Amino acid sequence: MCSCDWPEFSSRRTMRSRKRRRCAECKQTIQPGDLYTHEAGKSDGEFYVIETCKACDDWFVDIHAEVDDPCCDMPPLGDMAAWRADPQNAEVVARIEAKRRAAV
């Protein structure tokens, strides 16, 4: 069993970028005009801001909806590619990909 703490507070918004930004997950550039997610909050006594591109945020939303325990089973920030490649997570990744194919 893991032990993790949810943020003391957080705010999450999808926004349209007015300047170049870097995705905290994949490190790709978010161009002006692109949609991105801006999340800010306080966790473990520290304030944080995380900006992610639409593709990475879509994966996080889908993973959150599919895992048994979002607090313990989510990939750490910056580690989603490795999490998706881990055979332990293959079933969750397959379910997400199947839902995405069915939605098209």
| Class of residue 68 by CB neighbours under 10 A (exposed 0-12, middle 13-18, buried 19+) | exposed
Question: Nearest to residue 83, comparing CAs of 98, 67, 65?
Answer: 67
Would the pLDDT of 7 be above 80? Answer: no
Any residues with CB less than 8 A from the CB of 55 and at least 6 apart, and which?
Answer: 26
C-alpha torsion sign, points 1, 4, 35, 12: positive
Judge whether 27 lies within some domain: yes
pLDDT the model gives residue 3:
62
Would the pLDDT of 1 be above 60? Answer: no
Judge whether 28 lies within some domain: yes
Spatial separation of the C-alpha atoms in residues 61 and 34, rounded to whole Å? 18
Would the pLDDT of 2 be above 70? Answer: no
Q: What residue numbers bound the domain in which 64 lies?
A: 9-103
Judge whether 48 lies within some domain: yes
pLDDT the model gives residue 35:
97
Q: Tally the domains of the chain.
A: 1
Report pLDDT digits (tens) over 45-102: 889 899 999 999 999 999 989 988 877 888 887 888 899 999 999 999 999 999 999 9
The CATH number linked to 76 is 3.30.1740
